[in-house]
Amino acid sequence: MFESLLNALPVALQLGSLISLFVGTLIGILIGALPGLNPVMAIALMLPLTYGFDPIIALGLVAGIYNGSMYGGAIPAILLNIPGTPAAIATTFDGYPMTRKGEGGLALKTACWSSAIGGIVSALALMTLAPMLAKVTLAFGPAEYFWVAVFGLVSIAVLVGQDVSKGMLSALLGVIIGLVGIDTISGEERFTFDSLYLSGGFELLIVLIGLYAVPPVLEMAEKRNESYFNSDSFRAKPSGGSLGLLRRHWRTWSRSSLIGVAVGILPGAGGNLAALLSYNEAKRKAPDPETFGSGNPVGVAAAESGNSADNAAAMIPSLTLGIPGNLVAALVLGALMIHGLQPGPQLFTRSPDVAFGFMWQMLLTAMLLLLLGGMVATRLFAQVLRMPSALLVPTTLVLMAVGVYTVNGNVTDLYVMLAFGLAGYLLNRLGFPLAPVVLGVLLGPMAEQNFRLTMLIAQNDWTVLFTRPISLGIIALLAVVLLSQLWKTLRHRRQSQDQAA
């Protein structure tokens, strides 16, 4: 295997391949930075144009767009509190407060390095551990996926925000929103009120932009005569430069990258879950967890390395078993078949240059982020902060409206976005965290569907949820999160009582 891997390196370094990597990464950053656009859309449009090209060039474009878009989504998340992609939700928690404090440059540089490190670790895992990790994918059934969803929901609800009860209520609200539409198991309509629009459920991107983008715009409008951003101190270089970043964040990058790889090999889990779990773990391990959410660079480092580490890892079940881990992985399988290649174990024996060459391309595009990412973010997109609020508010609203309208071409989506925006503004004012709402929309249907599948397979024997080894391991992790949070709450209460006495 390692001999074939080394033989594929010259293929990945061909001029045509390098050009496709460069162009793909640049397109990916721009796509990720524009809310409403996503890598799936970009790759789907680019693939037919590569029909006459060498397969390695087509896959180079895919690798570049995929890795580039994961970092690109962090740019508006940091600058405007608008997640460019769903995976950038966790980046808004500390990235945007850093911009408000005049540390947007540091946040962008931290995100760039974190995305690159996560992508590199993920590509190395794809190169060296693909066959072994593919077996882990097969060990996960509906029961395990149910517990993964519950773990994600509970951990984000407990660890994000100051009030656990408000976090749980926010997660419950998200689950209710996620249940709107057609039941995937029975085919029955739920909470649609005989509306054709609601029968398809709420589009995640519309909910995301509404909850996260509209409230800060309303805040900007409220403070139109004040300086909303401390742009005079917009610093692009942290103290100590890049070596300073490495010294401060190497532990966070290592931990978050491993979480991202672990989540990536699970089909359907996605970078959003990887980023949120990485952020939660970083906050749990930090000596100053109370600073998270108010502009802690460690939060940005954890979120970005976690979601980027999901990228190449999601390709592991696709390339080794022919099972796509996400929509991008499904498009990679489509690209291979367009060029006459059959995904699966035989791909590594019949076309090793293509299979291993693509692994090298995922690694090279992650490295390219260090060259292109900071330049594009600071010299192009960061200039939006120089605009006065009177221009920034309508410009941001127009960008949001265009992004939402491009999803389905439906004007009703704009009204839904505004409705969620007003709801998000109200929740903010009442002190309810928004992250559990979004995660509830994402993971609520996943938990419900896999729970019902488990009950159907086990003929309503609920004990199957507690007998499989992987399920027990996830339950143990869930117990650790809950008990640690309970211990911190009791300790904080005791300290408050001692100070009052």
Q: Say if 478 falls within a structural domain.
A: no
Q: Say if 430 falls within a structural domain.
A: no
pLDDT at position 31 is 81
Q: Say if 291 falls within a structural domain.
A: yes
Beta carbons within 10 angstroms of residue 10's beta carbon: 12
Q: Say if 454 falls within a structural domain.
A: no
Confidence band, pLDDT 50/70/90 cuts, at residue 117: very high
Of the candidates 79, 47, 84, the one whose C-alpha atom is nearest the C-alpha of residue 68 is 84
Provide the domain count of the chain.
Answer: 1
Residue 158 identity (one-letter amino acid): V
H/E stretch holding 385 reads: none
Contact 32, 84 (CB under 8 A): yes
Residue 238 structure tokens: 């942290």
pLDDT above 60 (res 238): no
pLDDT at position 386 is 61
pLDDT tens per residue across span 463-486: 888 888 888 988 998 888 788 777
- Cα separation, 489 vs 479, whole angstroms: 15
Residue carrying the six token digits 């139109």: 224
pLDDT above 60 (res 35): yes
What is this structure's pTM? 0.75
Q: Say if 434 falls within a structural domain.
A: no
- Cα separation, 424 vs 419, whole angstroms: 9
- Range of the structural domain that residue 28 is part of: 2-146+203-402
pLDDT above 50 (res 136): yes
Q: Say if 456 falls within a structural domain.
A: no
Tell me 47's DSSP state: G
* CB burial of residue 159 (10 Å; 0-12, 13-18, 19+): buried
Q: Say if 420 falls within a structural domain.
A: no
* 234: region left, alpha or beta (phi > 0 left; psi from -120 to 50 alpha): beta
Q: Write the DSSP string, 321-343.
A: HS--SSHHHHHHHHHHHHTT---
pLDDT tens per residue across span 58-107: 888 888 888 888 888 888 888 877 777 777 888 888 988 888 888 888 88
pLDDT at position 422 is 92
Q: What is the CA radius of gyration of the chain?
A: 22
Confidence band, pLDDT 50/70/90 cuts, at residue 233: very low
- Cα separation, 236 vs 216, whole angstroms: 23
Q: Say if 492 falls within a structural domain.
A: no
Residue carrying the six token digits 């198991």: 185
More confident call, 159 vs 399: 399
Most confident of 40-54, 85-99, 265-279, 394-408: 85-99
